[in-house]
A and B are shown apart, each in its own frame.
Chain A
Amino acid sequence: MEKLLTRLRNMNPIVWQVGLIVLAILLPLPMGNYHRSVLWRTGLYAMLGLSLNIILGYAGLFQLGHAAFYALGAYTCALLNLHFNVPILLTYPASVLVAALFGYLLTRPILHLRGDYLCIVTIAFGEVVRLVLVNNLFGITGGANGLSSIDRPALFGFVLRAPIYHYYLMLFFLILTIYAVQRLEHSRLGRAWMYVREDEVAAEAMGIDTTRVKLLAFVLGSGWAGLAGALYAGRITVISPDQSKFLESVIMFCIVVLGGTGSIPGVFVGTLGMVTLPELSRPLKAWRDAWLGFVMVIMMILRPEGLLPSRRVAMEIRGEKEEVLPAPATGT
Chain B
Amino acid sequence: MYRKLSLLLITLVLTLSLFTGCQKEAGTIKLGLEGPMTGDYAYEGQGFEKAVQLLVDQTNEAGGLLGRQIELVIEDDAGDPTQAALVAQRLVDADVVAVIGAYNSTATEPASEIYNEAGILHVTPSSTATRLTEKGFERFFRVCFLDDRQGLFAATFAKEVLGVQTFGILHDNSTYAQGLAEHTKRYAEEMGVDVAFYDAINPDDTDFTPILTNIGAAGLDAIYFTGYHAQGGLLLKQTGELGLDLNWMMGNASNNPELIQIAGLENAVGTYITTEPLPKDVDYPEARQFVADFEEAYDMSPDSVWWMMAAEAFNVIRYAIEQTESTDSEVLADFLHNEAKDINGITGPILGWDEKGDRLGTIHLAYIIGENGDFIVNPEQP
Q: Do A and B share a complex?
A: yes
Which residues on A are within 8 Å of B, measured CB to CB?
32-34, 37-38, 41, 131, 134-135, 143-146, 148-149, 161, 163, 232, 235-240, 242, 279, 282, 285-286, 288-289
Say yes or no: A242 contacts B105, CB within 8 Å. no
Partner-binding segment picked from B85-93, B183-191, B215-223, B359-367: B85-93
In the bound complex, what is the Cα–Cα distance between A161 and B174 (angstroms)? 30
Say yes or no: B85 contacts A285, CB within 8 Å. no
Would you list which residues of chain B between 150 and 176 have a CB under 8 Å from chain A? Answer: 173-175
Q: How many residues of B contact A (CB 8 A)?
A: 30
Say yes or no: A143 contacts B178, CB within 8 Å. yes
Closest-CB distance, A315 to chain B (whole angstroms)? 37
B81 sits at the interface (CB 8 A): yes
Pick from A145, A161, A285: contact of B178, CB below 8 A: A145
B117 sits at the interface (CB 8 A): yes
Which of chain B's residues has its CB closest to A162's CB?
A: B117
Closest-CB distance, A162 to chain B (whole angstroms)? 9
Q: A143-B175, A145-B175, A146-B106 in contact; A286/B93 too (CB < 8 A)?
A: no
In the bound complex, what is the Cα–Cα distance between A146 and B117 (angstroms)? 22
Which of chain B's residues has its CB closest to A152's CB?
A: B113
In the bound complex, what is the Cα–Cα distance between A161 and B81 (angstroms)? 17
Say yes or no: A238 contacts B81, CB within 8 Å. yes
Say yes or no: A33 contacts B175, CB within 8 Å. no
Say yes or no: A149 contacts B86, CB within 8 Å. no
Q: Would you call the interface of chain A mostly helix, strand, loop, or mixed?
A: helix
Contact mask for chain B residues 179-212; partner A; CB cutoff 8 A; 1 contact, 0 none: 1000000000000000000001010000000000
**What are 5 A-B contacts defined by CB distance under 8 Å?**
A32-B93, A33-B89, A37-B89, A41-B86, A148-B131
Q: A33-B89, A38-B86, A135-B173 in contact; A145/B106 too (CB < 8 A)?
A: yes
Pick from A34, A144, A232, A286: contact of B37, CB below 8 A: A286
- Chain A residues whose CB sits within 8 angstroms of the CB of B37 once the complex forms: 285-286
Would you list which residues of chain B between 80 and 106 have a CB under 8 Å from chain A? Answer: 80-82, 85-86, 89-90, 92-93, 105-106
Say yes or no: B135 contacts A288, CB within 8 Å. no
Say yes or no: A282 contacts B110, CB within 8 Å. no
Closest-CB distance, B257 to chain A (whole angstroms)? 25
Closest-CB distance, B52 to chain A (whole angstroms)? 16
In the bound complex, what is the Cα–Cα distance between A79 and B85 (angstroms)? 21
- Chain B residues whose CB sits within 8 angstroms of the CB of A131 once the complex forms: 202
B148 sits at the interface (CB 8 A): no
Say yes or no: A37 contacts B86, CB within 8 Å. yes
B109 sits at the interface (CB 8 A): yes
Closest-CB distance, A161 to chain B (whole angstroms)? 7
Which of chain A's residues has its CB closest to B177's CB?
A: A144
Say yes or no: B113 contacts A237, CB within 8 Å. yes
Q: A145-B129, A149-B135 in contact; A242/B80 too (CB < 8 A)?
A: yes
In the bound complex, what is the Cα–Cα distance between A233 and B37 (angstroms)? 25
- Chain A residues whose CB sits within 8 angstroms of the CB of B174 once the complex forms: 144
**Which of B75, B89, B93 lies at the interface centre, i.e. has the most chain A CB atoms within 10 A of its CB?**
B89
B323 sits at the interface (CB 8 A): no
Q: A146-B106, A240-B106, A242-B81 in contact; A289/B38 too (CB < 8 A)?
A: yes
Closest-CB distance, B20 to chain A (whole angstroms)? 20
Q: A149-B135, A161-B117, A240-B106 in contact; A144/B173 too (CB < 8 A)?
A: yes
In the bound complex, what is the Cα–Cα distance between A307 and B145 (angstroms)? 51
B34 sits at the interface (CB 8 A): no
Which of chain B's residues has its CB closest to A289's CB?
A: B38
- Chain A residues whose CB sits within 8 angstroms of the CB of B105 once the complex forms: 145
Closest-CB distance, A280 to chain B (whole angstroms)? 11
Say yes or no: A41 contacts B131, CB within 8 Å. no
Say yes or no: B92 contacts A33, CB within 8 Å. yes
Closest-CB distance, B339 to chain A (whole angstroms)? 30
B358 sits at the interface (CB 8 A): no
- Chain B residues whose CB sits within 8 angstroms of the CB of A134 once the complex forms: 173
- Chain B residues whose CB sits within 8 angstroms of the CB of A41 once the complex forms: 82, 86
Q: A240-B106, A242-B81 in contact; A34/B175 too (CB < 8 A)?
A: no
Say yes or no: B82 contacts A34, CB within 8 Å. no
Contact mask for chain B residues 111-131; partner A; CB cutoff 8 A; 1 contact, 0 none: 001000100000000000101
Q: A134-B173, A145-B105 in contact; A237/B110 too (CB < 8 A)?
A: yes
Closest-CB distance, B33 to chain A (whole angstroms)? 13
Say yes or no: B117 contacts A37, CB within 8 Å. no
In the bound complex, what is the Cα–Cα distance between A285 and B85 (angstroms)? 17
Closest-CB distance, A34 to chain B (whole angstroms)? 4
In the bound complex, what is the Cα–Cα distance between A141 and B253 (angstroms)? 25
Closest-CB distance, A84 to chain B (whole angstroms)? 20
- Chain A residues whose CB sits within 8 angstroms of the CB of B76 once the complex forms: 282, 285, 288
Say yes or no: A236 contacts B173, CB within 8 Å. no
Q: A32-B93, A149-B135, A242-B81 in contact; A279/B178 too (CB < 8 A)?
A: no
Say yes or no: A144 contacts B89, CB within 8 Å. no
Say yes or no: A144 contacts B93, CB within 8 Å. no
- Chain B residues whose CB sits within 8 angstroms of the CB of A242 once the complex forms: 80-81, 106
- Chain A residues whose CB sits within 8 angstroms of the CB of B110 once the complex forms: 236-238
Contact mask for chain B residues 41-76; partner A; CB cutoff 8 A; 1 contact, 0 none: 010000000000000000000000000000000011
Pick from A37, A135, A145, A286: contact of B85, CB below 8 A: A37
In the bound complex, what is the Cα–Cα distance between A33 and B93 (angstroms)? 7
- Chain A residues whose CB sits within 8 angstroms of the CB of B106 once the complex forms: 144-146, 238, 240, 242
- Chain A residues whose CB sits within 8 angstroms of the CB of B179 once the complex forms: 145
Say yes or no: A236 contacts B131, CB within 8 Å. no
**Which of A32, A163, A238, A285 lies at the interface centre, i.e. has the most chain B CB atoms within 10 A of its CB?**
A238
